[in-house]
Chain A
Amino acid sequence: MPSVMLAPTPGIATFLKHLKHNPVDASIENFVSLLKRRQIRSSRPCAIATTHLLLKVVATFRDRDVAKLVERIRSVGQQLIAAQPREMAVGNIVRRVLGLVREIAEDDADENPDSTSMGDSGYLPYSNLEPSGLPTHFSNFSPPKHGSALPQKSGLSQSDSNGGDDNSGQGAVAVEKQLDRRPPLLTSHTSYVASAMAPQVTSLFGLLSHPHTPSPTATPPLGTQSPVMKPGLTSRVLATIPDASAAKVDIKAEVLEGIRELLDELDQADDQIAAYALDHIHSNEIILTHTSSTTVQRFLLAAARKRKFTVIHAEAYPNDYLETHATIMQGRQKSAVGDDEDERWSPLTALGITVIMIPDSAVFAIMSRVNKVILSPHTVLANGGLVAAAGALTIAQAASVHKTPVIAVSGVYKLSPVYPFDTEELIEYGDAGRVAEFQDGEMVESIEVVNPLFDYVSADLVDLYITNLGGHAPSYLYRIVADHYRAEDVNL
């Protein structure tokens, strides 16, 4: 056989393979060109690829200076974002990782005030910025809830709202993680509750060091800080003190650990979201959804196991209709990410759900009969608005006319701290050939064909967001943003 193993068309799979075998700079370049060529597109693949890339960037980073590490990640992030600014998930992940590094660095500095290893420059500017930044403000705002939540594990927020079996799985993961060197700190990086805590800690330090002390050595010694903290936190800090000698080396290891957890989060986000399905989808409801989305599909599948309802699927012509058809027929997109075949993929119809596919133009007509609209955003913005596949705005507006609730299901990784000052900028314009046939020469010659890939749906058209952390009102999203991203990272 003449070379059966033909070089596959580049995409996320080849990128991940490439990442394993090549120097990191080549991989960055590879990712940049894949983004430019749109061979990696849509939020989840972008997020996964970015996380893997940053994992490698951090792993190959040789310098011990945290400030330089931050600078490095930031510069990589800038390249990636410049390549395709409309894939916001890339920027989100970069910001998450930056926040992670800063947090670890700050914790580390707090624990070892004498240690000079992390570099004054790396740490100080941020702690000075802190008091005026968003996170400080909000974490001061409502400390009790988060404070009390802290000693628990990452599965916490799920365990509040959903049943046992899912939580046990989570718990197992968490316990496994806990066996690592510094369990409480590590698990806290990605969980929003815990990370909400982190700014709080630093902000308290910030408050204490507020008189603009020029160097960390001038901050009050450790002993004076600990009483300020909650009991759980103290124990954590105490537990880490013996490790202080190894702290220099550990920063990187911790960051890597944190990034891996981020990967886990990406992996589990859909499951976690799906766990809320039964709270929102009731028997005999008519649900309208749009385009093909793994998240929505799993959400509906989770509900379909227990309840009978009807799904109306708008096909999202001309950009995603083939994927939509595939989702309806096979239950998954043609170009599913990752090679692990999930056996749970089956079309909704296999579970006895009636699925009706309609063209986008029929949305308004049918809206009067719809009980709920479920949207899957491309990006969620800090103001509560969202960017989703073209057609979403029509649906949202039709729903608002009929007072039908609109629910957006999205992992936290899609949540961007960027405020949409110019909504035009968010919208990508795609291949005009999908709208009008390129074959038609006269048409091509004389008509301007526009094919927007996305719609911007403003916050007032969305009623509820369901993320892997639970349900939130659009007006509450700024809080999650503040909990996940550092103010200094918002503008990379």
Chain B
Amino acid sequence: MAPKNKKSSAASERQKDVDETENPLQAVVLADSFEQRFSPFSMERPRCLLPLANTPLIEYTFEFLASTGVEDVFVYCGAHTDQVENYIQQSKWCSKVSPFAKLEIIRSTSRSIGDAMRDLDKRSILTGDFLVVYGDIVSNVPLGAALAAHRERRAKDKNAIMTMVLREAGDKHRSKTQGASPVFVIDPTKDRCLHYEQIRPRQSNHFLNLDPDILKHDDLEIRQDLIDCGIDICTPDVLALWSDNFDYEAPRKGFLHSVLKDYELNGKTIHTYVVDECYAARVKNLNAYDSISKDLISRWAYPLCPDSNLLKDQTYRLQKGNVYKEEGVILARSCTINHRTVIGKGTAVGDGSVVSNSIIGRRCLIGRNVTIDGAYIWDDAVVGDGSTVKDAIIANEAIVGKRCQVLPGALLSYNVRIVDGTTVQGTARVTRFKRKRGYDRDEVAKGASDPKVVGEGGDGFQMEKEEDQEDDNMAGLGTSGLLVYNMGNLSLSSDSISTLNSDLSEEHTGSHDHYRASSFASVTSDDSQPSRGATEFHHDAAAGIYDSLQRGDATDNIQLEFNSLRMSANASEHQQRRAVVAAFMKRISALIESGSAIPEAVKQTIPVHRTLIERVIFDKSREAKDDQVDLLLLIQADLVHRNAGDSILVFVCNSLTLSDVIEDRGFEQWWNNERSVQGEEMAKVRAKTQQFIDVLLADEESGSEEESEEGEQSNDDDDDQDE
């Protein structure tokens, strides 16, 4: 850890010089959120170009930036970069009259926000304080005060690296994130954020894990009533931190949480700026899309309303009851346009139709006797005579036939055609394209139509459900699901700590299901709860031990460092073992790769530092050797991923026996543990150890007095066999 810290402080030193000079306000727009919550729509178009109240989402973002006086803008694109680029280049933001001095679109292969931030750090284009916002933000918060506060703090203390702008909202609010709700622990005297955690609705226990140190502050606010719309005022140090911690993925769950955790270590503080007026929200998912559309129409976000006509060619005018119509709307005399409706240019509504609480795009054709309520109909869509559309989204150029029923919650993607007289279920996500998980990016291919969904002769099929699809339900019937961070997208390099790390998180997210039934109640209760804190501890500790092993530090020193880390993170025993195992295994495989033979590598590592391992085992005197079993399981799981993992396991076991770290009883219990044979890989990796165990167990049966000797003997046998 030490060299890293030095590096980051060097980076901040460098930045300090730059800070002295005058800087224009810069902003980074993360146009791609690296999520797929807008499927099926986001398959064909980037989410930042989806229309919100008939204006592409990114316009609101740019408008927000322009209104705060930002001069340089960097737009990060992931998926659909071409579309975003085309759009931006043709918009006024790129024209000569653009309010921005510079607008740069950065193409990147980033798979997460973390990657994007690290990429940004490499480019070193950001010179001073900058804003980070998402490409789907809707806000009219004047940032002047927040920026001033940030700068003032920063002038006093270089370590105040970030200010988050948060909007106060009540307990229940339609514009708040459904699903995981963020909890901020704030010291109101300094506006400092002390702790951050996300609580999921399905989480079994609604507990926060607070560091006892936090409670030493005189004033504490623990707030769950904040809309976190992702507006961050950052200093360049933030980028350096992202770079130093290459495993951070998400800006809140990863970055914020860890930086706050590591306060003791790096001393960086993060602050909040809570506003209680003005509007700020993020179109995070379809729920938010729905509620923010409503907010815009009801003028909660004034002056961001449809009649502000953000786009040049828009001509919306407000009429009574929050009805916004563009010029050139054709309404039949007998149709009824009810409150809270937006209708775009060239749209025709037929006789006897009733439209309420809806947004209809341009050039749409709404037939006769149609009922539309709470629906979002994008440009060029057609709704045939006598149909009913409720609480649904119909995308561009989709066609709903005559006498159709589109039930609440349905999503019809681009160009879908629903045949006359079909009923579209509320769970329908009808699309014409399939997503294929490609090697380095997802590809989209046209799929065959499914007459069950769209009727005979229609076009489109039900999209396959994806894991992050669950919380998209428009109707918001409390189906907001687990927001499992999509680990599948990680580029797993096989030999880095981050691999361990991701394994850990994966295992933990699954832990509720897997472990609960198993007999290792003690293991689960320890670590399933503080799983995210564990990630950071694990990362630090494993990296620390590994570094020390590499340098060949004395065992005592390593132990000391490890202890202090353990104390500060309040790590559980399981976490400690995990960290130790990870470091040791990595060291061993590194040695093997550098040319040492396996027994040599093991010998160099384990016997020398055996006290380290002994210190994380606490059950020597007890009958049930849970800790030892756990350690072995961890070793086994770790070796699954390594080259020649099965051979290494044999030698490690051998070495552990020789050093008296693990008792025979422990081996026995491990071997009989169902988890050690769980899955094909686990079974495979321990296959070679079979003989070793057989011998060991045989010895035990033969007599406990000669245990050690016998063990030695058996090990020798093993060695022979392998060589």
A interface, CB within 8 angstroms of B? 1-10, 14, 23, 25-26, 28-30, 33, 36-39, 82-83, 424-425, 429-434, 437-442, 444-445, 448-449, 451
Nearest 8 Cβ contacts at the A-B interface: A441-B173, A29-B97, A431-B302, A2-B19, A7-B69, A9-B144, A38-B303, A441-B172
Please, which residue of chain B has its CB at the minimum distance from the CB of A24? Answer: B97
Identify which of B142, B225, B310 contacts A36 (C-beta below 8 A).
B310
**B129 in contact (CB, < 8 A):** yes
Q: Report Cα–Cα, A358/B23, bound state, in Å.
A: 46
Task: Establish whether residues B309 and A438, one from each chain, have CB atoms under 8 Å apart when the complex forms.
Answer: no
Identify which of A2, A9, A434 contacts B129 (C-beta below 8 A).
A2
Please name 15 further chain A to chain B contacts, defined as beta carbons within 8 Å, in addition to the given A36-B303, A431-B300, A441-B171, sorted by A numbering: A4-B151, A7-B69, A10-B67, A25-B96, A25-B97, A36-B310, A430-B299, A430-B302, A432-B302, A433-B302, A439-B168, A439-B170, A441-B174, A444-B298, A448-B322
From B179-187, B255-263, B274-282, B707-715, give the one contacting chain A: B274-282
**B704 in contact (CB, < 8 A):** no
A439 and B302 in contact, given A3-B151, A10-B67 (Cβ under 8 angstroms) = no
Q: Report Cα–Cα, A424/B142, bound state, in Å.
A: 29
Contacts of A3 in B (CB 8 A): 19, 21-23, 128-129, 151
Task: Establish whether residues A29 and B92, one from each chain, have CB atoms under 8 Å apart when the complex forms.
Answer: yes
**B494 in contact (CB, < 8 A):** no
Contacts of A442 in B (CB 8 A): 170, 172
A26 and B97 in contact, given A2-B20, A6-B147, A441-B172 (Cβ under 8 angstroms) = yes
Q: Report Cα–Cα, A25/B95, bound state, in Å.
A: 11
Contacts of B339 in A (CB 8 A): 448
Contacts of A10 in B (CB 8 A): 66-69
B298 CB to closest chain A CB, in angstroms?
6
Contacts of A2 in B (CB 8 A): 19-20, 23, 128-129, 151, 154-155
A7 and B322 in contact, given A37-B308, A441-B170 (Cβ under 8 angstroms) = no
Contacts of B308 in A (CB 8 A): 36-37
21 contacts between A and B (CB under 8 A): A1-B20, A4-B151, A6-B144, A7-B70, A33-B99, A425-B317, A429-B299, A430-B299, A431-B299, A431-B300, A432-B302, A433-B300, A437-B170, A438-B300, A439-B168, A441-B172, A441-B176, A444-B300, A448-B339, A448-B340, A451-B299
Q: Report Cα–Cα, A29/B66, bound state, in Å.
A: 12
Identify which of A6, A25, A445 contacts B25 (C-beta below 8 A).
A6
Contacts of B321 in A (CB 8 A): 448
> How many pairs of residues, A versus B, come closer than 8 Å at their CB atoms?
134
Contacts of A434 in B (CB 8 A): 277
Contacts of B301 in A (CB 8 A): 431
**B318 in contact (CB, < 8 A):** yes
Interface residues as binary, B544-579 with A (CB distance below 8 Å gives 1, 0 otherwise): 000000000000000000000000000000000000
B interface, CB within 8 angstroms of A? 19-25, 63, 66-71, 92, 96-99, 128-129, 140, 142-144, 147-148, 151, 154-155, 168-176, 225, 276-279, 295, 298-303, 308-310, 315, 317-322, 339-340
Task: Establish whether residues B155 and A444, one from each chain, have CB atoms under 8 Å apart when the complex forms.
Answer: no
Q: Report Cα–Cα, A28/B279, bound state, in Å.
A: 27
A28 and B68 in contact, given A431-B302, A438-B279 (Cβ under 8 angstroms) = no
Task: Establish whether residues A448 and B97, one from each chain, have CB atoms under 8 Å apart when the complex forms.
Answer: no
Task: Establish whether residues A432 and B298, one from each chain, have CB atoms under 8 Å apart when the complex forms.
Answer: yes
Contacts of B22 in A (CB 8 A): 3, 5
Contacts of B24 in A (CB 8 A): 7
Contacts of A23 in B (CB 8 A): 96
Contacts of B173 in A (CB 8 A): 439, 441, 444
Chain B CB count within 10 A is highest, among A1, A4, A8, A441, for A441
B655 CB to closest chain A CB, in angstroms?
55
Identify which of B25, B142, B318 contacts A429 (C-beta below 8 A).
B318
A40 CB to closest chain B CB, in angstroms?
11
Contacts of B315 in A (CB 8 A): 82
Task: Establish whether residues A29 and B99, one from each chain, have CB atoms under 8 Å apart when the complex forms.
Answer: yes
Identify which of A1, A14, A440, A448 contacts B298 (C-beta below 8 A).
A448
Contacts of A451 in B (CB 8 A): 299, 302
A444 and B295 in contact, given A3-B22, A39-B67, A438-B169 (Cβ under 8 angstroms) = yes
B100 CB to closest chain A CB, in angstroms?
11
Contacts of A7 in B (CB 8 A): 24-25, 69-71
Q: Report Cα–Cα, A445/B96, bound state, in Å.
A: 41
Q: Report Cα–Cα, A8/B319, bound state, in Å.
A: 35
Q: Report Cα–Cα, A441/B96, bound state, in Å.
A: 42
Task: Establish whether residues B66 and A33, one from each chain, have CB atoms under 8 Å apart when the complex forms.
Answer: yes
Task: Establish whether residues A9 and B320, one from each chain, have CB atoms under 8 Å apart when the complex forms.
Answer: no
Task: Establish whether residues B169 and A9, one from each chain, have CB atoms under 8 Å apart when the complex forms.
Answer: no
Task: Establish whether residues A444 and B318, one from each chain, have CB atoms under 8 Å apart when the complex forms.
Answer: no
Q: Report Cα–Cα, A39/B67, bound state, in Å.
A: 8
Task: Establish whether residues A432 and B299, one from each chain, have CB atoms under 8 Å apart when the complex forms.
Answer: yes
Q: Report Cα–Cα, A232/B247, bound state, in Å.
A: 86
Contacts of B155 in A (CB 8 A): 1-2
Contacts of A432 in B (CB 8 A): 298-300, 302
Q: Report Cα–Cα, A490/B340, bound state, in Å.
A: 33
Contacts of A429 in B (CB 8 A): 299, 302, 318
Identify which of B21, B67, B144 contacts A8 (C-beta below 8 A).
B144
Contacts of B66 in A (CB 8 A): 10, 33, 37
Q: Report Cα–Cα, A36/B315, bound state, in Å.
A: 12
Q: Report Cα–Cα, A8/B151, bound state, in Å.
A: 13
Q: Report Cα–Cα, A385/B70, bound state, in Å.
A: 41
Task: Establish whether residues A6 and B303, one from each chain, have CB atoms under 8 Å apart when the complex forms.
Answer: no
Please, which residue of chain A has its CB at the minimum distance from the CB of B310? Answer: A36
Contacts of A424 in B (CB 8 A): 319-320
Q: Report Cα–Cα, A430/B318, bound state, in Å.
A: 11
A28 and B97 in contact, given A6-B25, A10-B69, A433-B277 (Cβ under 8 angstroms) = yes
Contacts of B98 in A (CB 8 A): 26, 29
Contacts of B151 in A (CB 8 A): 2-4, 6
Contacts of A425 in B (CB 8 A): 317
Q: Report Cα–Cα, A433/B23, bound state, in Å.
A: 34
Please, which residue of chain A has its CB at the minimum distance from the CB of B298? Answer: A432
Identify which of A6, A9, A431 contacts B142 (C-beta below 8 A).
A9
A9 and B69 in contact, given A3-B151, A36-B308 (Cβ under 8 angstroms) = yes
